[in-house]
Amino acid sequence: MKNNLTFQFIITVFISTWFIWAFAVLSSLGIIDFFIPTALMVIFGTFMPSIIGLFFLIRYDKIKLKEILKNTFLLKGDTKYLTLVFILMPVIFSLTYIITTIFFGTTYDLPWLSRPFELPILFLYILVLGGPLGEEIGWRGFLLPRLLKNRSAFQASLLLGTLWAMWHIPLFLIEGTVQSSISFLIYFMYTVILTFFITFLYLKTDKRTSTALYMHTSANMAIGVFYVIDQSIGIIFVGIFMLGFLAFLLLKNKETFFFNQK
């Protein structure tokens, strides 16, 4: 039954989201003139994983809405891991910016750095409308615990990361999205590695959806503030840092990643 629910969730999320995003794709390509702005259709589609995840958690797992909300927004766990939730991706992107600027003479257009007092507003905007809140009740609140029932954290992360990346495919066809400006292969690798980071910290912070919610937000914000992925050298260094940290995690936390987390 649990495996059946897992499959039902995945299929329902993909079909519902892609159905909505199909209109955004057709509108962006100029095939239809839809009355709803493309950006709103993108945001609406982004909320499908959490909407469907919320329904499945309440309907099938019999979890009360109050408990779901506490799990989604309230952090819990070791301070050092909670700190990583917020700083890991910003550190990776800021280091990439510093190194490529100083040693390679790369120039970037980073308007947010000149408006630091607006960053808390940006964080809240990304959290609510930039993907995390619309996705994480589904991906990490409902799906990840099920994947971890009969898989190692490594296997669950690889599978979830692949699904998560593939779910974004229509966005590569919509003008103005982050995905439309980069290759799918690069995005796929980034998303899978980020999934490993989130899974690790999720397991180290009481298995709370809030860990994923805030790390997803900090990662998206890091991309926006230190937008280095429009330069090849920036992409290379982000990749080096992410792969390096992933290798470190896998070597130092074999028990966490390679044994079932029941």
3-state secondary structure at position 152 = strand
Whose tokens are 């998303």? That residue is 191
Q: How far apart are CA 198 and CA 139, in angstroms?
A: 11
Distance from C-alpha of 230 to C-alpha of 22, rounded to nearest angstrom: 26
Q: Give the HSE-up count for residue 54: Cα atoms under 13 Å, Cβ half-sphere.
A: 15
- What domain count does the chain have? 1
Q: Which residues of the chain have pLDDT under 70?
A: 1-2, 261-262
Q: Residue 25's domain spans which residues?
A: 2-258
Dihedral of CA atoms 190, 178, 93, 184 in degrees, nearest 10, equals 20
Q: CA-CA distance, 188 to 256, in Å (whole number)?
A: 23
Using alpha carbons, select from 211, 198, 196, 212 the residue that is nearest to residue 247. Answer: 196
Q: Report the predicted TM-score, pTM, of the whole model to 2 decimal places.
A: 0.96
d(CA 243, CA 112): 27
Non-local (6+) Cβ contacts of 242 within 8 A are: 92, 190, 193, 194
The pLDDT of residue 209 is: 98
Tokens matching residue 167: 């779910």
Residue 36 is predicted with a pLDDT of 85
CA dihedral 111, 116, 117, 119 (to 10 degrees): 80
Measured distance CA(74)–CA(10) in Å, rounded: 26
Torsion angles phi and psi, residue 51, rounded to 5: -60, -45
Q: d(Cα 2, Cα 148) in Å, to the nearest integer?
A: 12
- Written as six digits, the tokens of 202 are 């999720």
The reported pLDDT for the residue numbered 59 is 96
**Non-local CB neighbours of 127 within 8 Å, separated by 6+ positions:** 133, 213, 214, 217
State residue 261's pLDDT score. 57
- Please write the tens of the pLDDT for every residue from 206-215: 999 999 999 9
Helices (H) and strands (E) in the chain, counts: 13, 0
Task: Find, among 128, 139, 143, the residue nearest to 191 by Cα.
Answer: 139
Using CA atoms in the order 223, 96, 168, 199, what is the torsion angle rounded to 10 degrees? Answer: -100
| Euclidean distance between CA atoms 64 and 135, whole angstroms | 19
Q: What's the distance, CA 237 to chain centroid? A: 20
